[in-house]
Amino acid sequence: MTPYPPGIPAVLPGECLNSGVLRYLRTGVEAGMNIPDATDPSLRFVRVVRDA
């Protein structure tokens, strides 16, 4: 996920998310930041893939 305007991605595909990253992204969305790559742009839900 890359906040807009584009810059350094906050999260890359396959990366484990921690509470700090989620807090950063959610507070950004609440402040009006656009995250165009997210499945749920509100970040109420995060898609999780289990590693087999």
Does 5 or 23 have the greater pLDDT score?
Answer: 23
Predicted local confidence at residue 1, as pLDDT: 63
Number of folded domains that form the chain: 1
| Segment (H or E) for 28 | helix 19-30
Arithmetic mean of pLDDT over the chain: 81
Predicted local confidence at residue 17, as pLDDT: 85
pLDDT in tens, 10-51: 888 788 888 998 898 889 889 888 887 788 888 888 887 777
Structural domain boundaries, residue 43: 1-52
Sign for the pseudo-dihedral over CA of 25, 26, 31, 36? positive
What is the pTM (predicted TM-score) of this model? 0.69
Predicted local confidence at residue 7, as pLDDT: 72
